[in-house]
Structure 1
């Protein structure tokens, strides 16, 4: 028989730890425990485990399963093996580890298991909270995901299934996963990533610039987000790429001619870790660099997460909906095309390594520079 141990947490709430143990030849050969917030859940889990063990050859079957790696263990082994891993990929894989499928022996997963996991994601099922004691009451309410979002989860999981076998010394169910993905695409459970078309209006940018400028004046130690916004528009690099820029990588920020700038680890569609790319800096981008104080070896010595958080908080406070920091880069690139630059000219500034990516901008009309008389250019001496 199993047992349930009741404990009281620091906040006064009870926890119930169910334990199921089996011995053979005087030695413990199986021991499983799990903690729950509700006693009824602990009892249900314990009864389910005991039913498995009481089947003919049940103990031998369960013991054999415990020697296999679970999907969660395989995912963690993959994460641990990566010197660098993208933020979204890491978040998705860690979240997957908190779904029930992660507790299953990986070699026994079927196409139906993967398909049902994708369906649960689409429906809006939530992973187990990292800390159940701090999870809000509505944590488990369904929050439906877009097929594109589900596709991101499944794509990242697929990389693990395809490549982590040698890491854990087991043959992983690649064929089963591919079969499930074929069904997911046919059923519309997963979809391709949609290209965002959101661009900030001058009115929205004025609100953000005014807010951050005043904030910076009140607290000079804060990240000068008004300057970071100018950099995002006029330098057109990705958020993390801005924060890696070094003063030593600028050919000559105070030269009369257009200088070049080395972008370290620029994202590349086929090269892990990116490439170091040299780009041309236009007059507005150069003016932003010149306006930055040289207080570090980095031109923008700030953490990307801090930039994202401050930008998101400001948009919410100012009532600006559905605007991401990355949309500023889209605005900056669109501006170059609106000014009449060709794709090769734009590439020399943005550093794009995959030209077809810029095809989304070919519809942009040549309307001139909408920032030509923008009052905030005075911050960078223009």
Structure 2
């Protein structure tokens, strides 16, 4: 219970709770003091409700998911995608279980059932979200769980898929398919992705204010690893931007949503009769082309934004026939 006293023309509020630091504050008006006291006591009530062992029998998994979605996810850069994943998870039967009943076996059964419909990589991503969710609930919300139930759930083995190289012939196929659609902007976006090796999110967030055409530089303020970078523009990339032109309607270079792009890409591949080709393969292709042009590892890392050179090698898929041409172009050495 909050204590409110008047001292020296001020209303002083003091709130004491067991296992919590004392809260104090002063106000000029009594009504403001009472309002603050009610708000803070309500917060403490919610905290104690979550930390109580009784909460394990009262709260459901759905309660955890909803709080995590509403309080933690908005702080993330990929909030939209993660919110969609959590909303879909809330439609499953698993979220109706009480927290006291949740065991690793529940998530293992959910994993096996989900594997019948989606790829292992999707399962790994979703399990990672739920494991982080329980970690936050235990460490920051005081949920009385001894261990994280997701820590003991085995993640499925990811597909050993080798990203496609995208030669010019395939680009032409995609462009011809795009011309039959209603989104001509996708052609410029596709070409620009091949010239810059930018991620999909970086392309869609690109604004004209980030571009310096005179110096042929492009600044990416928000990146996946949190480190802004400035990349050089190839002559072809500069030409693409000049062909687009800046309009007053929007500040974005490619005014298209993530979901619209995903849908457009699926239609393109279907029209072009290309199977298992992903938009992210464009980034793999672009990085491989930079190496084939003769750029050094640090130069390509500056463009791609990779901090780990081992991960950069994962994106590199050199064509052996080009290496043969290089070897044949070298002067023969004397044999001893």
TM-score scaled by length of structure 1: 0.62
Match status 1:94 vs 2:110 = no
CA distance in 2, matches of 1:120, 1:101: 12
Query: 1:107/1:260 Cα in 2 relative to 1: closer, same or farther (>3 Å)?
Result: farther
CA contact (8 A) 1:78 1:160 kept: yes
- CA offset digits 1:189-226 (Å, max 9, x no partner): x12464642223433211221232465xxx6xx45111
CA distance in 2, matches of 1:120, 1:214: 38
Counterpart in the other structure of 1:202? 168
1:262 to partner: Cα distance: 0.9
Gaps of 5+ in 1: 1-63, 125-142, 269-273, 369-382
Match status 1:267 vs 2:233 = no
Counterpart in the other structure of 1:353? 307
Counterpart in the other structure of 1:371? none
Per the alignment, in what secondary structure is the counterpart of residue 114 of structure 1? helix
1:99 to partner: Cα distance: 2.1
Query: 1:175/1:65 Cα in 2 relative to 1: closer, same or farther (>3 Å)?
Result: closer
RMSD: 2.8
CA contact (8 A) 1:223 1:302 kept: no
Q: Which has the higher contact order (CA 8 A, sep 6+)?
A: 2
CA contact (8 A) 1:262 1:277 kept: yes
1:115 to partner: Cα distance: 2.4
CA distance in 2, matches of 1:229, 1:110: 45
CA distance in 2, matches of 1:300, 1:360: 28
Counterpart in the other structure of 1:80? 70
1:361 to partner: Cα distance: 4.5
1:302 to partner: Cα distance: 2.1
1:85 to partner: Cα distance: 5.3
CA distance in 2, matches of 1:242, 1:311: 14
CA distance in 2, matches of 1:336, 1:283: 14
Counterpart in the other structure of 2:297? 343
Gaps of 5+ in 2: 1-53, 323-336
Counterpart in the other structure of 2:60? 70
- CA offset digits 1:333-376 (Å, max 9, x no partner): 111112222211112222333332112255624866xxxxxxxx
CA contact (8 A) 1:92 1:156 kept: no
Counterpart in the other structure of 1:177? 150
Partner residue of 2:263 out of 287, 309, 313: 309
CA contact (8 A) 2:265 2:279 kept: yes
CA distance in 2, matches of 1:88, 1:299: 22
CA contact (8 A) 1:107 1:171 kept: no
CA contact (8 A) 2:194 2:285 kept: yes
CA distance in 2, matches of 1:304, 1:149: 17
> Within 5 A, what are the aligned runs for 1:136-147?
143=117, 145-147=118-120
CA contact (8 A) 2:199 2:280 kept: yes
Query: 1:112/1:302 Cα in 2 relative to 1: closer, same or farther (>3 Å)?
Result: closer
CA distance in 2, matches of 1:301, 1:207: 23
- CA offset digits 1:58-106 (Å, max 9, x no partner): xxxxxx7896221111011101112235355434333322222211112
TM-score scaled by length of structure 2: 0.69
Counterpart in the other structure of 1:282? 234
Match status 1:226 vs 2:187 = yes
Higher deviation after alignment, 283-292 or 190-199: 190-199
Counterpart in the other structure of 1:378? none
- CA offset digits 1:262-317 (Å, max 9, x no partner): 1121111xxxxx33222222222222222211013222222222222112112112
CA contact (8 A) 1:207 1:318 kept: yes
Per the alignment, in what secondary structure is the counterpart of residue 174 of structure 1? coil
Match status 1:112 vs 2:105 = yes
Per the alignment, in what secondary structure is the counterpart of residue 278 of structure 1? strand
CA distance in 1, matches of 2:259, 2:109: 33
1:117 to partner: Cα distance: 2.4
